[in-house]
Structures are given as C-alpha cells and as structure tokens.
Chain A
C-alpha cells in the first residue's frame, strides 16, 4: 500500500508541475519561449550535423528541379541589372557600392499552431542578423526578423496577421501595405478599387527602413478582395513555396564585415 502511495504522490506532484507548465505556456508565453530557445540552443550542437545531412539530401533532390528556375531567374536579374547600370550610366551617376550580404539559414522550428506566423532559424546576432532584416526564400521575401538571439532568430512570416510591410506594384507604381491573415493568404491593402491590376503583376518591397531595401520581390497579384472602407485589397501569391520553408536567406544590410567571422 505504501508503495502505491509513494508512486501516487510522485505522479500527482509531477502532474501538478505539468499543469503549471501548461498554465505558464498560456499565462507567461515569453518565459516559455525563453526556455524553448534555451533548449533549442542546447540541442543545436548535436542537431547541426543532422541538419547538414538533411540539407545535403534535400539539395541533391531539388537540384534538378530548381536549376532551371534559378537559371531563368538569374537571366532576368542579369538583364534587369544591365538595364539599371545603363540607366545609371546615362544619368552619369556612379554605380552604388553594395553594402549588403546574404547569409544562408535553416529553419529549426515551425510550430503547427503558428504555421503561418513565425519560424525559428539557426542564425542570430553573432552572425550579424538584426531585427527588421528581410528573410528570403527562392529570391522572394517571406518575412522579417522580429527577435534575434545570439545563434538563433525568430522570423515573422509574411502570412502573419500582424505582418505589415509597405509594398509597390512594379508595373503601376501603386503603393500599398502587405498583410497576412494567419491562414496562408497575403493581401495588398489600401488599394483604390478603381485601379485595375492584371494577374501576374509583380509586387516588391518599398523603401521603409535601414534594414529593408526597396525592390525585393514578394510575389504576384492574383485577384481582388472585397471592397471595404473605400479600398479593395488585392490577393498576392508569394513567389516562394511557403509550405516548404527549410533553407532561407537573411539579407544583412550595412557594414557587416566586422560582425561575421
């Protein structure tokens, strides 16, 4: 009987602590996030080689599929770059010196409950990542850094309802605000209803801050939403595969030479 009692007491105490942790996850989410990040950092040491293997296998598998797409995109960018250089030359302006750098990052955590809101990556402030820095996948912006730890960062996805970003329709120069809805959709808000946009028009970032340069592709216009308060939001389809976010790039703007090893 005493054997049962002792085990019963231990299990009740353990369950009490378990319920406390559950309560904390709702009442003190930042504390739990802090603990989760610490566990993530601790496990990053044994997990890194496995992530490398995973990336290698994935890269090998996707190589053939992605190659053509990347070649086409590279050709487009080369043509665009040449046109811009020609325009600068005509305007007698010196070509700008690039102060940005792109670093590769891997997704280490994507909570199912926050699937369209945020992901955690394995790059942080020690690699030069700063809050607000744009995060790209397949050359398209998919989010921005909202929290940077030493060796990890949290990325707010473009599909998050709290994500707001000034954007421009490349073909018409109409400005709007990109916003998600936590369900995988992306909207370009505050667009006048009388404006006609063709499906496939490119949407890119507009100038908003030091860490976010204009002209980063976001996606393409796909359709019209419901007119409300005098505006008709346009749905935007991301150029990246948002359901397959594994390897990302973080754009570091400014002098990063002293930060990275």
Chain B
C-alpha cells in the first residue's frame, strides 16, 4: 500500500513538474493493476484494492481534472476487468505477457477516455496523449519484469 501511495504522489509531483508540457502516464493505475494480480485472488484483497483505486482516482480528479469521479470510475472498472480476466484465465496462462497486454490495454483505454472526456481534442492534445502512452511503456516493462521474476518457477 505504501508503494502505491508513493507512486500516486510521485505521479502528482511529476505532473507538477511537467505541467503544460506533457501528461504523465497513469503509473498509479498500472501499479494497482499489478498489485491486484501479483498475489492470489483473495476476495478481501481485491475489494480493498478496488476501493484504494477508487480513492486514488477521486483524489487525482480533485487535483487535476475538471470532472471529479471520472478517474475513480475508470480505476474501479480497470480493477474489476483485470480481476475478471485473471480469474477466468487458467493459472498456467497468467503470464507476464498477458499482464502486459491487459495493463497496457487498460492504460490505453483510460487515456482515450480522458482524451475525449477531459481534454479539448486537438493536435497538441493528441501529441500529449501519444507521449503519455509511449512513456507508459518503460513502466509497464518494469512491472512485467518484476512479475516475471516473482512468478518464475511458480504460478499465482
């Protein structure tokens, strides 16, 4: 949990630093997705991460977005989707590649939702969106490596 709070804060500080130049990737959501699936799918744990993602999203909205509630809803939907896919995937198939595809796809869809609901569609906004998605790739790669390292020789 402390790691997730630190990531949220780091994302906020990065956004302050880059305000006007770029939108920082949603590192918080990526970490929450990772935390959701990195351990056995326990009911209480998933519910807890669900609310944690929701509160993180609401706080982000209150700090940066004009439509509070949107990021909270997106984060909740992300956790539910990840849980649903992971729960339906046989243990042998829960690979780092699946995690990368899932987290990357959700991050992309979340970016699209923010782009259309929050920003004024324009060339500059599109460029910011693309940079945001590109910058999420290294973070995603790091999380995949951690996941692969953690699950090497075992399946969660």
Contact = CB atoms under 8 A, between A and B. Distances in A.
Contact of B47 (A2, A6, A21, A35): A6
B120 to A, nearest CB: 6
Interface of A: 2-4, 6-7, 10-11, 14-15, 17-25, 32, 35-36, 39-40, 43, 46-47, 50-51, 53-54, 107, 109, 111-115, 244, 246
A68 B35 CA distance: 53
Contacts of B73: 15, 18-19, 22
Interface in B35-67: 41, 43, 46-47, 50-51, 54, 57-59, 61-67
Interface of B: 9, 12-13, 16-17, 19-20, 41, 43, 46-47, 50-51, 54, 57-59, 61-70, 72-73, 76-77, 79-80, 83, 87, 118-120
B76 A112 contact: no
B46 A7 contact: yes
Nearest to B76: A14
B67 A22 contact: yes
Nearest to B58: A21
Contacts of B19: 54, 107, 246
Contacts of B59: 39
A244 B20 contact: yes
B66 A114 contact: yes
B67 A18 contact: no
A4 B79 CA distance: 13
Contact of A20 (B41, B46, B69, B80): B69
Contacts of A115: 120
Nearest to B120: A112
A196 B12 CA distance: 51
A39 B63 contact: yes
Which 7 residue pairs spanning A and B have beta carbons closest together?
Answer: A21-B69, A22-B69, A18-B73, A111-B66, A39-B62, A10-B47, A113-B66
Contacts of A25: 66-69
A7 B17 contact: no
Nearest to B79: A11
A20 B79 CA distance: 20
A111 B20 CA distance: 11
A14 B62 CA distance: 17
Contacts of B70: 18, 22
B54 A43 contact: no
A36 B68 contact: yes
B20 to A, nearest CB: 7
Nearest to A5: B43
Given A18-B73, A21-B58, A36-B63, A7 B50 contact: yes
Contacts of A113: 66-67, 118, 120
A53 B120 contact: no
Given A7-B47, A10-B47, A21 B16 contact: no
A18 B76 contact: yes
B47 A47 contact: no
Residue among B16, B63, B73 with max Cβ neighbours from chain A (10 Å) = B16
B54 A14 contact: yes
Nearest to B64: A109
Contacts of A2: 43
A7 B59 CA distance: 22
Given A7-B80, A47-B13, 4 more contacts: A39-B62, A50-B13, A112-B120, A113-B66
